[in-house]
């Protein structure tokens, strides 16, 4: 029997129901949803089951995660999930032709700031007018942490890699705005996380992908 390559991320089990409640509200009814930094693949298979009229395209920069996503896809027989793509947000243009929405959980703080900017660049380039980019994770607000747990998490991230760290919402929104991604809404989530919904404006913004 082949090796089971499915990874299990405990936080993903805990946060998927509250995230799904937001996605049900903000995603288009149908079309292609591109997931950036899918990780284990647990999110995408559970969201795909709950929202079957959407075609899901998972991706990740880590080949072991791509293998895990595909193992979850196979074990759940998730027909509306495409095979996972190896996609590093910083390697542009992305190997994706179409996205009607983009979802990215827990990546921008566990990567250099340049990865957050690359996520915004890629989304601005790929999404059509009004299409959403949904970012989930911990954020600072007004330059300050919103909870002691986030402050400790931020310190642990920076100890692992000084380029990592919990991002400031205002800075993310300013960079998004500069790329034609306007702030739609911010939803407060359990465990001091946020879901931030941005939408591609109708006016052309800066585009970095060809």
DSSP state at residue 128: P
Among positions 22, 46, 56, 65, the unique one binding ligand SAM when judged by CB under 6 A? 65
Can residue 61 be called a binding residue for ligand SAM (CB under 6 A)?
Answer: yes
- Residue pair 189/204 in contact (Cβ under 8 Å)? The answer is no
Number of residues that bind ligand SAM (CB under 6 A): 21
Can residue 195 be called a binding residue for ligand SAM (CB under 6 A)?
Answer: no
Burial of 127 (0-12, 13-18, 19+ CB in 10 A): buried
Helix ranges (H only) for 76-164 are: 113-126, 148-160
The DSSP bridge partners found for residue 186 are 196
What phi and psi values does residue 33 have, to the nearest 5 degrees? -105, 120
Can residue 46 be called a binding residue for ligand SAM (CB under 6 A)?
Answer: no
By residue count, the chain amounts to 210
Q: For the CA atoms of the chain, what is the radius of gyration?
A: 16
Centroid of chain to Cα 55: 16
Among positions 27, 54, 69, 105, the unique one binding ligand SAM when judged by CB under 6 A? 105
Angle between helices 10-26 and 42-50 (to 10 degrees): 40
Can residue 154 be called a binding residue for ligand SAM (CB under 6 A)?
Answer: no
Least CB distance to ligand SAM at residue 203 (A): 28
Binding window for ligand SAM (CB under 6 A); candidates: 20-28, 46-54, 86-94, 169-177: 86-94
Can residue 113 be called a binding residue for ligand SAM (CB under 6 A)?
Answer: no
Restricting to residues 4-43, name those near ligand SAM by CB under 6 A. Answer: 9, 12, 36-39, 43
SS3 content of the chain, % helix, strand, coil (to 5): 40, 25, 40
Least CB distance to ligand SAM at residue 204 (A): 25
Binding window for ligand SAM (CB under 6 A); candidates: 56-64, 72-80, 143-151, 165-173: 56-64
Q: Give residue number: closest CB to ligand SAM.
A: 39
CA–CA separation, 82 and 73 (whole Å): 8
Can residue 167 be called a binding residue for ligand SAM (CB under 6 A)?
Answer: no
Binding site for ligand SAM (CB under 6 A): 9, 12, 36-39, 43, 60-62, 65, 87-90, 105-107, 110-111, 115
């Amino acid at each position: 029997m082949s090796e089971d390559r499915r990874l299990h991320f405990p936080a993903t089990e805990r946060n998927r129901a509250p995230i799904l409640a937001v996605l049900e509200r903000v995603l288009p009814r149908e079309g292609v949803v591109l997931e950036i930094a899918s990780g284990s693949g647990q999110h995408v298979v559970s969201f795909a089951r709950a929202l079957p009229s959407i075609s899901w395209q998972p991706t990740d920069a880590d080949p072991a995660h791509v293998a895990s996503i595909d193992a979850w896809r196979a074990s759940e027989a998730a027909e509306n999930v495409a095979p996972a793509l190896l996609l590093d947000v910083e390697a542009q243009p992305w190997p994706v032709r179409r996205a009607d929405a983009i979802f990215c959980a827990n990546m921008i703080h566990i990567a250099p700031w340049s990865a957050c900017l690359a996520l915004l660049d890629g989304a601005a380039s790929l999404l059509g007018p009004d299409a959403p980019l949904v970012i989930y994770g911990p954020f600072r607000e007004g330059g300050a942490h919103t909870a002691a747990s986030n402050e400790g998490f931020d310190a642990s991230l920076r100890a692992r890699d000084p380029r990592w760290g919990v991002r400031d919402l205002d800075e993310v929104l300013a960079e998004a705005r500069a790329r034609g991604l306007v702030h739609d809404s911010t939803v407060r989530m359990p465990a001091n996380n946020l879901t931030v919904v941005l939408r591609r404006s109708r006016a052309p913004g800066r585009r970095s992908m060809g």
